[in-house]
Structure 1
Amino acid sequence: MAVEELLTAGWRDEQVEVMERLRDWADTSVELNQHVSAWMGLPTSDANALGHITWSAESGRPLSPAQLARRIGMTSGATSVLLRRLEQGGHITRERSTTDLRRVSLHPTSSARERTRGFMAFSGTEIAATVRSADPDELRLVAAFLERMVLAGRAANERLAAGGVDPAATHRDPA
């Protein structure tokens, strides 16, 4: 039995279709990140980190270095090196909290914001049009579903990070 069959055995067609579309969006997102990387003249990992920093700051919830490390799947040491490159390249600043000097938040520089906005203006036309043209009820339904998927994924990641699965013990060769 193929891996795809094991993962979807007993699933309805629409459930499989949703998982395939989520995979397609994840693949498309990775490709878009490769394009923004070229646009910004940055390594893909740096562009990915800058994207997280920018989106979080734009939404009013700037990331700490530790939060960024978790999001991009890097160690704190590797994240520190990446942040130093972004800072030296004039893409980000680190700001200390005025109430707790141990807390640091990451912010894109105005030039990085402008370059990111330029990329979005050039590349995001179809995506923005799709979101803007969607019915509000459809958007609420999709957002609620995606939130549940994110929570499920986080729970799986936490279980895996805690050593809850031994891949050698759970993988069986069907032959």
Structure 2
Amino acid sequence: MSTADDPTLRAARRQHGNAILTALRETRVQLSLFNHQVGAHVELRDIDVDCFELVTREGPLSPTALARRAGLHPATMTGVLDRLERGGWVTRERDAADRRGVAVHAVRGRAAELVRLYAGLGRAVDDICAGYGEAELALVADFLRRTSRAGRLATDALAANRAGA
């Protein structure tokens, strides 16, 4: 008998799914609060830190692509980039392929400041991981990657829905 055919197994899966969603929401809140503290230490707003992280991981990006990726209005992105540039976190450089275009680059070395501030969380996660085997860690990593991807798709869909409204 499959899970779909057994009401008891369906209910148990639904309970597990709800518990996972609740834990993810709690994690989101705690990480948001932690990120706020990180930003306060380097005198950046939360969205500034998020945009710097995006440029560091996915950049260089055009301001338009960064605004789209961050779900921000282009005018809002201009303010974010102004603050990041003023603080020495990013540079805006002419795009070599299209001289009219601009690419946002992360300034080398600045990410190290954030890494230092995130180090306590990193050590705590290392301690948690020490209690799991390799196969379990691979499963958790896969789950988190897939959940992150689902979050990005849901974000993109919600942003597209808002833009079309």
TM-score over 0.5 for the pair: yes
What is the distance in 2 between the residues matched to 1:49 and 1:131?
A: 28
Structure having the higher helix fraction is 2
* TM-aligned CA deviation for residue 152 of structure 1: 3.3
Alignment counterpart, residue 150 of structure 2, candidates 144, 149, 152: 152
For the 8 Å contact 1:95–1:107, the answer to whether it is kept is no
| Cross-structure match for 1:140 | 138
For the 8 Å contact 1:97–1:105, the answer to whether it is kept is no
| Cross-structure match for 1:47 | 49
| CA pair 99-122 structure 1, distance change in 2 beyond 3 A | same
SS in 1 for 2:44: coil
**Bigger Cα displacement from structure 2, 16-25 vs 101-110:** 101-110
| CA pair 118-77 structure 1, distance change in 2 beyond 3 A | same
* Structure 2 unaligned blocks of 5 or more: 1-10
| CA pair 66-115 structure 1, distance change in 2 beyond 3 A | same
* TM-aligned CA deviation for residue 36 of structure 1: 0.4
Alignment counterpart, residue 17 of structure 2, candidates 15, 18, 42: 15
SS in 1 for 2:25: helix
SS in 2 for 1:163: helix
For the 8 Å contact 2:59–2:106, the answer to whether it is kept is yes
| CA pair 132-84 structure 1, distance change in 2 beyond 3 A | farther
TM-score, L = length of structure 2: 0.71
| Cross-structure match for 2:59 | 62
SS in 1 for 2:47: helix
| CA pair 118-152 structure 1, distance change in 2 beyond 3 A | closer
TM-score, L = length of structure 1: 0.68
Spell out, residue by residue over 1:115-140, the C-alpha distance to the aligned partner (whole angstroms, 9 max, x if none): 21221234532124334664332232
Matches within 5 A, 1:1-175: 12-54=14-56, 56=57, 61-64=58-61, 65-101=63-99, 102=101, 104-110=103-109, 112-131=110-129, 134-163=132-161
SS in 2 for 1:93: strand
SS in 1 for 2:161: coil
What is the distance in 2 between the residues matched to 1:161 and 1:98?
A: 30
| Aligned residue pair count | 150
| CA pair 161-38 structure 1, distance change in 2 beyond 3 A | closer
| CA pair 127-78 structure 1, distance change in 2 beyond 3 A | same
* Cα RMSD (Å): 2.9
* TM-aligned CA deviation for residue 53 of structure 1: 3.0
* TM-aligned CA deviation for residue 14 of structure 1: 1.4
| CA pair 128-109 structure 1, distance change in 2 beyond 3 A | same
